Amino acid sequence: MSQSNNGVHIQELAPEHFHDQAKAALADPQLRQNFRGAMDYLQDKRKTAFSNPVEEKHIRDLSEAIRQRCLSKLPDLLEQLETNCMNNGIQVHWAQNAEEANSIIATISQNHNAKSIVKGKSMVSEEIELNHEMAKLGIECLESDMGEYIVQLDGDKPSHIIMPAIHKNKQEVSDTFEKNLDNFTPTVDVDELIQTGRSRLRQKFHDADIGLSGVNFAVAETGTLCLVENEGNGRMCTTVPNVHIAITGIEKVVEFLTDVPPLYSALTRSATGQAITTYFNMISSPRRDGELDGPEEVHLVLLDNGRSQAFRDEEMRKTLQCIRCGACMNHCPVYTRIGGHAYGTVYPGPIGKIISPHMMGLEKTKDLVTASSLCGACGEVCPVRIPIPEMLQRLRNEAKNPPKPGIPAIKGQEAAASKAESLAMKGFAFAASHPSIYHMGTWSATKMKALMPSNLGPWTQCRTAPKPASKTLHQLIKDRKQGEKS
């Protein structure tokens, strides 16, 4: 059984164990140092990329409007996307959940007698645990994104949606290569480490039976799949193997091709502080007659996996605006101290806390929605203005209370409900709305401070209950209004 750097067994990571996993992460000074340096760097990069506040506001306003418009038309746009993709020669598949998505990919692989899949970066493939499921069928899945490749070699999991190996420093990467790659000479030179990884992966692209990628934007108007990347591995995965499978969540569809540039600008600047990434791939069909490269088949797998639940609720639908930039993580005081593994979910940090309940249910993720200071940093930097703090408060409420009339229930609703807590809050509400009872309670608590633990003594010595007012607040207001009239 493999271990991560924070001492928590990777296979045991789960949102139900969040508190223990967070404690383990906080107890690891090297992990915290790695994240602190990386987060400071990314925060500075974003700040520089959005140096003009007027321009930043314009881009965020436009990006939010585009995402909300597209989501308001989501069912129709998905049908339009399917039609235009099929007209272009792309085969479209629909998956209700992870099991169906894996079954679809397995069937495609078996139809081609595939034994190896080379993958570009895809968080949705992590979401469905594709590597694990394909391994059961004897199909090897090799990660070609450098960060994903590093964590795969180490038996680890990604800790960030943009930079999977951000929890490792140069020495730890070198140690991973030394342990897993033959004839590797240890080094902490970043260029040498990257070149080592690329040289080992080069032949894999040629030998793979299938290439798999994610999708950043799926354009309904043209049936085009857009892929954002910096390393070129995404382009290799989608052009060298004879079969390309793209997998994405249903929320990634946009209406027009002209919707892509503003979202692209918001994504790259928010994620890594870049004006533009090194590669931007637009895939609209398999290889055509006369073309020298490209796959003979292209498949698109559209995954629901809880997204429809979020879509049905007008407030929670805003969750689906996310363009997966990771800015909320980079600025979150919780994430920057404990990292991604502590959450035990594919999507960690603030955005993960509002996405995961729809995918996994509140019974598994109820602790995550309370793992926030509600400082608002995530909402302030979100390029599509998802009100994450407000949505966390909504999920906290749903975790403890039954659905309200006319509002769709969330999977696992009331998972954190407590009869004792409910009774206590009702009692407090009653006392707070009856001044005489409230003041009697605080007076009694003051008299009983001697029963408090000794270590709380200094705190209680300078605190006494306020004297009961001779009149209630309601009566005082009433008297004041009468005086004003007279």
With beta carbons less than 8 A apart as the criterion, state whether 149 and 131 touch: no
**pLDDT of 456 higher than 80:** no
Report pTM. 0.86
Say how far apart CA 237 and CA 281 lie, in whole Å: 11
Residue that wins the pLDDT comparison between 47 and 292: 47
Say how far apart CA 397 and CA 417 lie, in whole Å: 9
What is the predicted pLDDT for the residue at 454? 62
**pLDDT of 398 higher than 90:** yes
Over residues 401-421, mean pLDDT = 88
**Mind listing the pLDDT tens digit for each residue in 322-365?**
999 999 999 999 999 999 999 999 999 999 999 999 999 999 99
Return the DSSP state at 448: T
With beta carbons less than 8 A apart as the criterion, state whether 275 and 241 touch: no
Exposure string for 127-153, b = 16+ CB within 10 A, e = fewer: bbebbebbeeeebebbbbbbbbbbbbb
In sequence order, which residues have a C-beta less than 8 Å from that of residue 149 and are 6 or more positions away? 142, 143, 197, 201
**pLDDT of 5 higher than 50:** no
Residue written as token pair 């569809």 = 253
With beta carbons less than 8 A apart as the criterion, state whether 147 and 157 touch: no
The number of residues in the chain equals: 486
Mean pLDDT lowest among 80-84, 276-280, 386-390, 425-429: 425-429
Say how far apart CA 275 and CA 270 lie, in whole Å: 10
With beta carbons less than 8 A apart as the criterion, state whether 100 and 241 touch: no
With beta carbons less than 8 A apart as the criterion, state whether 142 and 171 touch: no
**pLDDT of 164 higher than 80:** yes
With beta carbons less than 8 A apart as the criterion, state whether 355 and 410 touch: no
Say how far apart CA 113 and CA 74 lie, in whole Å: 35
Say how far apart CA 251 and CA 351 lie, in whole Å: 14
Check the CA dihedral 369-375-376-382 and report its sign: negative
What is the predicted pLDDT for the residue at 3? 46
Structure tokens at 173: 């990467």
What is the predicted pLDDT for the residue at 297? 97
Query: How far from 45 is each of 31, 40, 124, 325, 377, CA to CA, in Å?
Result: 21, 9, 26, 13, 16
- Confidence class of residue 441 from pLDDT cuts 50, 70 and 90? confident
What is the predicted pLDDT for the residue at 8? 46
